[in-house]
Structure 1
Amino acid sequence: MTAPAERTRAALIPLFLIALGVVGIENALTRYFAVAKWSEYGYWIISIVLAGFALSGVVVALLRDTVQRHGVLLRAILPGAMTLAAALGYQWVTQNPFNPLQLQNPTTWPDQVRNIGMYYAALLPFFFLAGLYISLIFVLNPREIGRVYGYDLIGAGVGSAVALGLMFVVHPFLLAPVLLIPLAMSVLFQPGRLSWLGGGLAGAALVAGEAILFLGAPPAFSEFKAIYAPLNTPGAVVVAEIRQPRGHYLLLDDFTERVDADVSNNAGMMGVAGPPKTYGLYRDGNRIASLPMAGPLDAAYAPSALSAAPYVIRPGADVLLVGLSGGYRVAEALTLGAARVDGVESEPVLRDALVRGLGPSPALARDPRVRLLEGGPINAAWRAGRGSYDIVDVSADFVDAAPANVTGVTVEAMEAYLAALKPGGAVSISVSIRDFPVYALRVLATAREALRGQGVADPSAHVMVYRSAWNARILISPTPWSAADIAALQAFCAARSFDVSWHPGLDVTAARARLFNDLPSVSFESGEMTSNGPDDAIANEVAAVLAGRASPSSEAFHIRPATLDRPAFYSSLMLEHPGTLIRRLEVLPQAEIGALVNLAVLAQAIVIALLVLATPALFRRRAGGVKEPRRLWPALYFPALGLGFLFIEILLIDRAAFYLNDYSSAFAIVLTSMLIFSGLGSMIAGRCARMPKAASAIALIVVLAWIGAMLMGAEDFMMRTLDQSWAVRAGLVALAAAPVSLALGLPFPLGLIQVGDGRALPWAWGLNGAFSVVATPLANLMSRDIGFSSLLIVAAGLYALAFLVLPVAATRARTVPLFEPALPQDPFAGLPEPAPARLDPFPDTDRPPPVSQSQTSPA
């Protein structure tokens, strides 16, 4: 290796550290939103990151010669400026009085919109400066595009891994102060005559930034979080804490904590005690389960619980419990006479609490009748085989206990449950109807598809529905319900003041006269009741849904089956009717808000992308009178790469979340693997500069072959290997990500090499960032409404388009004299500018995806 090449590689270490710090702080900001606010609003962080990067690309494109001329000075002062901007921005964010509940109020929402603007004002400077630094390194090293891009991506991948690792030991609110350190440290490896200046400025900025964060007002839970009231109740004590990337867990001892069970108002008349006092387990400020206090689990309340009916209809049952609710569901089943209980607890901390206990809460007592199974519910049902259970019981809190749990109420899951039942067995699924009864209708539509998949011609004969005022239970059987079953359910409900919303042959009109709990039909569009007297909104539509016909709710909501390809449970809103949604904003469930936030971010992203796309209209002549060439292909090529890469990454994270039964580890493995392998691919690109079209063709073939394999065989492969250990499955995820990531690392630097050394280089980077802003919300909305497979199909088309528009002949870079000819040891002196990639992992480790949520694109 030549001495200049060695110096160039050494000089790229600061870029590596900057990329590490930027991605780490992005993770810290999204974790802050998940813990202190609601995770859905973490999308704004992604938008701000990429808007800052896109803006910096535009500025460098317009002021390229000035940036190049002052490159050494900028490289020295930017790390310190970034460090201070990050500290000030984070402190400002944590003190912002934004309240999501007031955003849904027609009177108070203008103030909250201003608070959203303050988030942008606080964070945009940091991410703009970060983008400026990365763009500067490309500008100064046009002949090392692949290598620079590789350091950028690998630094981002390591930054994501470091941030996730820190979440095991550092409080979420303290992540940002720790991750300021790599930003400031980057100047220690900075070559050149002004490194002393950069070191002094960065050191002073680090000290000032840490002082601001540690001496200023500390971050805190917002008052609308579920934990806020019990945590601030007199006598409340946090008895255990767990810090993990998947969430910040607090176990709370407070007199208000009780078993979260829907019990009958008649419990006292039945001589049944109420729910006992418990600990409350919270993840990121949201309550996920009750955990028992010392001593035997007290489940005396079980006979009065809504969930008890299947055990009355099928006494002495062999049971598969999906979601154990801290062990209380096991105690309930045994109290109700279950002969054998197999339990699935997908939330890892809850599972560990059952096995080893958590703080003062004891582990689940050993019982020969009880077995705790590995993996998720579909895996458990598949491994059990046909004819294993009388009851498959899905707990009321299962879906909300972990992001990956939404797969447990899909068509594929219900088919697995039905196949595992004995003749006459039943699947029991709880659905909350506190917000919208439509969620019960969606589960019914899913059950219909599962029954039809099992060869049932008339699903209405295989379903019964009963409810309290707050929750509905849907009973599904592979065999038709008998008259004795119907009578048993009616007697159970009558004794407890529950209502039967459907059984085969139900006269809905006559049943209204015997209602205990009124559930009126309400028009979502107008907010007005459409019924007179006692009513049951679920009963009014069950027959239509089970028959596959249109119903009143289907005109206002999406009532469609949930599948592994489209698993989002809270996705009933019709986003194509924004006017209605805005008028009824105050009644929307919090879980549905994420889609609206995505829609708002998408609209903003499109505006940013169009502005960046129009930037070449401002290009004039470069210094020395060289005319800027006008080319159309970059306007198609770089947006296609930015969109396509993210679509593939979001798909991979979703599939891995199902396969590993954990969104957080799936996110970490996929993101880190894709960034590192894409970085390696970009380093290869420099060797292919003389034959870009051929190299691009090879990359396209690999990408298309991989997409084809995923579409045709991924789901079947996952199902057949669900019984492998977690470590084996995690290795298979990384292995699956490697080949496509390596190929995805090639097209972007190949395109930059073709662009040449003019203002189009930073513009290309700005295009990539701008359309990456578009990609994240667009991918989330597509996966919600069309399905994750659509992301792969569109990604294939985008990469094919990029290949078609890439010029055949390699562009010869114009030789630019070093602007520091007296200091040849400085490898960054005065070279033209390629464009850095977006450093944007989606760090909302709180919920799936719907993620969930945004990634880093090397394209």
Structure 2
Amino acid sequence: MLRIPGTKVIDRYSSPLGLIDVVKSAITPLRHAPGLSLNATTEPPEQLAVFTDADNMTAIDRYDGNPETLSYLDQTTSALPYHLHSLQNILILGAGTGSDILQAHYHAVPRIDAVELNPQVIDLVEKKYADFAGHIYQHPHVNLHIGEARGFVATSDERYDLINISLLDAFGASAAGLYALSESYLYTEQALQADLQHLSPGGYLSITRWIKMPPRDTLKLLATVVNACKALKIKDPQQRIVLIRSWQTSTLLVKNGPFSDQEIDNLKQFSSERSFDLAYYPGITVEEVNRFNILPQPYFYQAAKALLGADGEAFIKNYKFNIEPATDDRPYFFHFFKWKTLPEIVPLLGQGGMSLLESGYLLLIAALLQALLASLVLIALPLVLGKDRLGIKSGTQGYRQVVVYFVCLGLAFFFIEIAFIQKFILILHHPIYAVTAVLCTFLVSAGGGSLFSKRLCGNRAKSMIRWPVAGIALFSAIYILGFESLTGFLLELSGSSRLVFSILLIAPLGFFMGMPFPMAMDSLGQTAPTLIPWAWGINGCASVISAILATLIAMQFGFTVLVFLALLLYVVAAFNFP
């Protein structure tokens, strides 16, 4: 952005939630209107660009109170629900700098609930640039809520004519290799179920996504919506869904009830006037699709027909990218990588095919290989070569037990820790809060468990190790199998209460997890003290590997598999207590 003549950063704010930059251009007007119709006859007003962590540009529009200055917002795909039916109250999840609020204001919606996680963004629009933005957050029709979208929906008893989620992440999210590694609990089956349950009769859930080619995001979202409808025992999802696209964005609507003939007529008129392509509506024909923003094949129409038909699972399995529905157990919405597609993509990298490579997953593989290599060279090899100096004879049973025991501990401890950090993002609403609370609680409670473990050491240690392992297995199994119920309960609490309950849930597990390591160290101190440095090294090596391996396993198989694999490792460790 700063390469554009006349642009400069005029404000910068920092917090744990991100670094915010406000950019202004004195020469070249900034124009941010994602997916704007190529037929648009109006342009955006003066804008200030806002970046969070130098990514995902949004804009603050200059607004003087005249709704006509906002007419460009009616030329985007996200305006569709306002043309199908009169809307009385709506919920905007991820209000940000306010463009979705302005869009609703342009359509004279009487009541708008707006939710935004980052209070600094709110301060920008509500205070610092309030005059520039037209005091939109102080408008009597707008009710502003600072909080996380999923948590707000869980605690709300309100039903809405429209719940709107628009472009809450950067265009290059998966291709950049960053978002593929991060969790998003906004687009999971459970999240969409909660959204659908908060619609009034005839209400709409509207989700606008960037379009990537070949299609990925939109199709994965549609597959997730279909599964959410099935979970809610909705028998006719194909009658409740419409999908349109522009050259840059797509908008998926899910209605609480079948679409009427009048709504379908309004949909066709809205799309035709703006040259938006119809991708799916109940009763669509192949002659109606791929008319304006023409693709080699009507990919979105073909995918929608397959996903909403009897061949949905086969389509997902055979598709070039991973479009399996995201769930709370596998909340990696931006993970599209499939190994079978890699041989096709590699020859295209020199021809502009980099955007096809979902590099985030491959970066994890590369990091895992580096960690394995470093571990073998710096720990395993010296241990093998230095056995004689340590007094270790070939075939010594105790030596093998030390290796197995501390490798299992290093892997298992981090498997559980990372699984719970990622799980508690949903409860505590942000990775920063989850890492801080979960990691601190694990370390402090594990320290308490280490202190207590002195009572279990000595000659009885080999038999006593089963008790901490049993405690770890019990609490982990209860939490991971009952997490959906726990989440439903905790999301309805206030922020401080969620934090307290999170600490109380994690502390007993951490307490037991703190015992196996010092118990084995005490045993080595009595029988083979020369192995203590190597036990530390082996455990540290396994910990580095497990931090990467845990994310790979969670992305591929889910958190439940990850935790139960950790429990298996603890059992193996118990049988190899040195």
Counterpart position of 2:370: 604
Counterpart position of 2:307: 545
Q: Label 1:493 to 1:341 Cα distance change in 2 as closer, same or farther (>3 A).
A: same
Counterpart position of 2:295: 519
- Aligned to 1:377, which of 132, 140, 149? 149
Q: Summarize the alignment of residues 32-431 of structure 1 with structure 2, pairs less than 5 Å apart.
A: 230-254=1-25, 255-268=28-41, 273-293=42-62, 296=65, 298-357=69-128, 364-385=136-157, 388-397=159-168, 406-431=184-209
* 1:651 correspondence with 2:413: no
Deviation at 1:622, TM superposition (A): 3.6
Q: Label 1:379 to 1:669 Cα distance change in 2 as closer, same or farther (>3 A).
A: closer
Q: Distance in 1 between matches of 2:206 and 2:513?
A: 45
* 1:567 correspondence with 2:339: no
Q: Deviations over 1:536-568 (max 9, x none)?
A: 211122111122242388331222111111111
Q: Label 1:428 to 1:346 Cα distance change in 2 as closer, same or farther (>3 A).
A: same
SS at match of 2:278: strand
Counterpart position of 2:385: 618
SS at match of 1:325: coil
Counterpart position of 1:790: 561
Q: Distance in 2 between matches of 1:504 and 1:592?
A: 33
Counterpart position of 1:772: 543
Q: What letter is aligned with 1:440?
A: T
SS at match of 1:717: helix
Q: Deviations over 1:423-447 (max 9, x none)?
A: 2211111121134412111111001
Q: Label 1:433 to 1:697 Cα distance change in 2 as closer, same or farther (>3 A).
A: same
Q: Deviations over 1:366-405 (max 9, x none)?
A: 222211235333333333337x211111112358899888
Deviation at 1:682, TM superposition (A): 2.7
Contact 2:183–2:332 under 8 Å retained in 1: no
Q: Distance in 1 between matches of 2:428 and 2:124?
A: 19
Q: Deviations over 1:37-77 (max 9, x none)?
A: xxxxxxxxxxxxxxxxxxxxxxxxxxxxxxxxxxxxxxxxx
- Aligned to 1:736, which of 482, 488, 505? 505
Q: Distance in 2 between matches of 1:559 and 1:615?
A: 45
Counterpart position of 1:638: 406
Range moving further from structure 2, 397-406 or 691-700? 397-406
Q: What letter is aligned with 2:252?
A: I
Q: What letter is aligned with 2:238?
A: S
SS at match of 1:373: strand
Deviation at 1:683, TM superposition (A): 3.5
Deviation at 1:317, TM superposition (A): 3.4
SS at match of 1:426: strand
SS at match of 2:323: coil
Q: What letter is aligned with 1:536?
A: P
Q: Deviations over 1:124-159 (max 9, x none)?
A: xxxxxxxxxxxxxxxxxxxxxxxxxxxxxxxxxxxx
Counterpart position of 1:465: 243
Q: Distance in 2 between matches of 1:626 and 1:562?
A: 50
Q: Distance in 1 between matches of 2:567 and 2:120?
A: 38
Q: Deviations over 1:266-304 (max 9, x none)?
A: 111xxxx21223222222221342234585595231221
- Aligned to 1:481, which of 259, 273, 293? 259
Q: Deviations over 1:476-508 (max 9, x none)?
A: 113121222111111000000111011112112
SS at match of 2:79: helix
SS at match of 1:557: coil
Q: Distance in 2 between matches of 1:356 and 1:704?
A: 51
Q: Label 1:353 to 1:545 Cα distance change in 2 as closer, same or farther (>3 A).
A: same
Q: Distance in 2 between matches of 1:405 and 1:803?
A: 33
SS at match of 2:9: strand
Q: Label 1:288 to 1:680 Cα distance change in 2 as closer, same or farther (>3 A).
A: farther
Q: Distance in 1 between matches of 2:536 and 2:488?
A: 40
Aligned positions, number: 556
Contact 2:154–2:491 under 8 Å retained in 1: no
Q: What letter is aligned with 1:519?
A: L
Gaps of 5+ in 2: none
Q: Label 1:436 to 1:727 Cα distance change in 2 as closer, same or farther (>3 A).
A: farther
Q: What letter is aligned with 1:371?
A: N
Deviation at 1:409, TM superposition (A): 1.5
Q: Deviations over 1:798-845 (max 9, x none)?
A: 1111112114xxxxxxxxxxxxxxxxxxxxxxxxxxxxxxxxxxxxxx
Counterpart position of 1:709: 478
Deviation at 1:685, TM superposition (A): 3.6
* 1:753 correspondence with 2:515: no
- Tell which structure's C-alpha radius of gyration is larger: 1
Counterpart position of 2:278: 500
Contact 1:258–1:279 under 8 Å retained in 2: no
Q: Summarize the alignment of residues 2-13 of structure 1 with structure 2, pairs less than 5 Å apart.
A: none
Deviation at 1:727, TM superposition (A): 1.9
Deviation at 1:633, TM superposition (A): 1.0
- Aligned to 1:595, which of 351, 361, 382? 361
Contact 2:162–2:203 under 8 Å retained in 1: yes
Contact 1:463–1:477 under 8 Å retained in 2: yes
Counterpart position of 2:343: 579
Counterpart position of 1:69: none
Q: Distance in 2 between matches of 1:672 and 1:260?
A: 42
Q: Distance in 2 between matches of 1:620 and 1:413?
A: 54
Q: Deviations over 1:638-666 (max 9, x none)?
A: 11111111111111111221112111121
Contact 1:644–1:799 under 8 Å retained in 2: yes
TM-score computed with the length of structure 2 as normaliser = 0.88
Q: Deviations over 1:602-642 (max 9, x none)?
A: 2333334455445443124348x896956211221111111
Contact 2:166–2:209 under 8 Å retained in 1: no
SS at match of 1:570: coil
Contact 1:250–1:283 under 8 Å retained in 2: yes
SS at match of 1:806: coil
User: Over aligned residues, Cα RMSD in angstroms?
Assistant: 2.8
Q: Distance in 1 between matches of 2:24 and 2:189?
A: 38
SS at match of 2:204: strand
Contact 1:381–1:416 under 8 Å retained in 2: yes
SS at match of 2:78: helix
Q: Distance in 2 between matches of 1:701 and 1:559?
A: 38
Q: Distance in 1 between matches of 2:260 and 2:45?
A: 36
Q: Label 1:692 to 1:276 Cα distance change in 2 as closer, same or farther (>3 A).
A: farther
Q: Deviations over 1:767-805 (max 9, x none)?
A: 222222321222111111211222211111111111121
SS at match of 2:298: coil
Q: Label 1:392 to 1:567 Cα distance change in 2 as closer, same or farther (>3 A).
A: same
Q: What letter is aligned with 1:734?
A: I
Q: Label 1:428 to 1:620 Cα distance change in 2 as closer, same or farther (>3 A).
A: closer
SS at match of 1:407: coil
Range moving further from structure 2, 314-323 or 548-557? 548-557
Q: Distance in 1 between matches of 2:393 and 2:184?
A: 56
Q: Distance in 1 between matches of 2:435 and 2:531?
A: 33
Q: What letter is aligned with 2:23?
A: L
Q: Label 1:358 to 1:722 Cα distance change in 2 as closer, same or farther (>3 A).
A: farther
Q: What letter is aligned with 2:307?
A: V
Contact 1:438–1:559 under 8 Å retained in 2: yes
Counterpart position of 1:660: 428
